[in-house]
Amino acid sequence: MPSRRGDVPGLPGRSRGVEAVAVSPGGVAVVPDVVAGVGGGGMIGGMSSWLVPLAVAVGVVVWAGVRQVRAARSDALLDLHARRRVGGRPPVPSPVSVWREANRLFRSGDREGLLLLAEIGRRVPRRRQAVVDTWLAALRGGVALGLDVPWRTAVQRELVSHLRPGPDFWPGVDVVAPGAILVDFDLSGCRVGRVDLAGAVFVGDARFGAATVTGDADLSGARFLRHAVFTEVLFARSASLAGAVFTGNVSLRSAQVAGDLVVAGAKVSGRADLRGAEVHGSARFDGARFGGRALFGGAVLHRDASFGRVWFRGRTDVGSALIGESADFDRTRFGRRVLSRERDGRRRDR
């Protein structure tokens, strides 16, 4: 007997439920017990044998396609990021990396590092003291394989170019380099803060003429292997040359010292010229030795002046200095004649 419309062959009186297949990017979901509701039981019976496998296959293909699209998009983003880093515009270096690279080049003796540090100081004022300290640190050592005069003079020229008033002037910078080895050091006309060159060695002439030092100046124990020029220098605070050794001449002519001047224990082989110098604090020369002439004509020492145990081996006119308060000449030695002034202004020997 033929089956009724809607009946499934082999199961009279009943309609066969067709499972609905939902396809999603993540896989295949099968929903049972959904009646097809399509006329023609024979057609339904024929379709039921291949519809489910087809739906599963379509779902797998769609899922694989979605994954492939996502992977391609991820690869494209990675490629774009890589091109931005290495291609076209170069990456902008951070300030920290520039500073480290400049220091690395400078320590290796590369002139590019010296210039790069100078450029950092120009662009970033708060870095200027650090730049100067880096340069001075290079001048404090590095003589195991030789003095390397060209490199030292190059560093000194770059340093001084920023300490002298002008278009590239860096105000308020301290010069702190105890024990430094300086070659033909020329700080004349410069304006700096504190100076600490204690124990430094000056190879060649050392020039500080007309310089302005707004902080304390410490050159104690320094060794000047040739001449030292402090003519018309202004020390806004105290200045110490205690224990310094001058192989050649030293000139403090017309120097101005707002605080104390300490030259105790210094040794001068050549001429010492302090004519016209003015010291507003106390002046201490205790134990100093002057091998050549020691000239004090026109010097003004506003407070106490101590010359105890000083040895003037050459001629001196220390008696012509104007001393504002007490003067101490305890156990002072004079090896040659002492020059003084008569009332008519002519010199005479004692």
Q: What's the distance, Cα to Cα, between the start and end of the chain in Å?
A: 161
Please state, for a pLDDT cut of 90, what percent of the chain lies above it.
Answer: 63
pLDDT of residue 51: 73
CB 253 within 8 A of CB 275: yes
pTM for the model: 0.70
Using 50, 70 and 90 to split pLDDT, how confident is the model at 20? very low
pLDDT digits (tens, 9 = 90+) for 38-48: 444 455 555 56
Mean pLDDT value of segment 10-25: 44
Mean pLDDT value of segment 330-349: 64
pLDDT digits (tens, 9 = 90+) for 138-153: 998 765 545 688 999 9
Higher-scoring residue by pLDDT: 325, 91: 325
pLDDT of residue 47: 55
Mean pLDDT value of segment 120-132: 96
Higher-scoring residue by pLDDT: 337, 217: 217
In the structure encoding, which two tokens stand for residue 234, read together?
């202004």
Domains of the chain: which residue ranges? 18-85, 94-173, 174-350
pLDDT digits (tens, 9 = 90+) for 276-307: 999 999 999 999 999 999 999 999 999 999 99
In the structure encoding, which two tokens stand for residue 147, read together?
């003095």
pLDDT digits (tens, 9 = 90+) for 57-101: 777 777 777 677 666 665 665 565 555 555 555 555 566 688 999
Among 110, 168, 170, CA closest to 138: 110
CB 316 within 8 A of CB 295: yes
Among 181, 286, 198, CA closest to 239: 198
CA distance 29 to 336: 119
pLDDT value at 197 more than 70: yes
Among 6, 4, 56, CA closest to 30: 56
pLDDT of residue 349: 44
CB atoms < 10 A from the CB of 32, how many? Answer: 8
pLDDT digits (tens, 9 = 90+) for 165-194: 999 999 999 999 999 999 999 999 999 999
pLDDT of residue 31: 44
Beta-carbon contacts of residue 63 (< 8 Å; ≥ 6 apart): 24, 25, 26, 27
CA distance 130 to 150: 23
CB 103 within 8 A of CB 113: yes
